[in-house]
Amino acid sequence: MLFYALYGDHPQQAWDVEVDVPKGEAPAACEQAARIQEVHARLTECLQVAPEGEEYEVEQVLDERTHKNRKEYLVQWKEYPTWEDSWQSKENLTNAQEVVIEFWKKRDTIGPLKQMLQKSERKCKQHR
């Protein structure tokens, strides 16, 4: 559904699955390879490629992480269910900078409050 917007490529180019296991030598591996190819075929049918240039609107940024030395944000997409939320690199969100800034404003406000709450919880546990 969001494949082109998220990955900028056609599903076949990005997710080609070829498994070459000599038959007779590893029957379990052959069965597993066949299952992988079957699942791949079904998933490829389900993917809808976005028309070139189409963008999806970010509702809000939910979290951030560093993955493979790259900053990524967990994005909630406008008018899509939460199961469509996805991790996006900061480079993919160049048109959503206001939403990213809003995330950091909330994070900067909530972070110190959360730390204070954790400290007070530890103190309560010590006095029990």
Q: Which residue has the higher pLDDT, 18 or 122?
A: 122
- The answer to whether the CB of 87 falls within 8 A of the CB of 72 is yes
Q: Which of residues 9, 36, 54 is at a domain's end? A: 54
* Beta pairing, strands 70-77 & 86-89: antiparallel
Q: What pLDDT is stored for residue 25 in this prediction?
A: 62
More confident residue, 100 or 117: 100
The answer to whether residues 39 and 61 belong to one domain is no
When pLDDT is cut at 50, 70 and 90, the band that residue 1 belongs to is: very low
**Total domain count, the chain:** 2
For residue 12, the enclosing domain spans 1-54
Q: Are residues 47 and 71 in the same domain?
A: no
Please indicate, yes or no, whether residues 37 and 65 belong to a single structural domain of this protein.
no
CA torsion 56-2-71-103 (nearest 10°) is 40
- Same domain? 63 vs 48: no
- pLDDT classification of 23: cutoffs 50, 70, 90: low
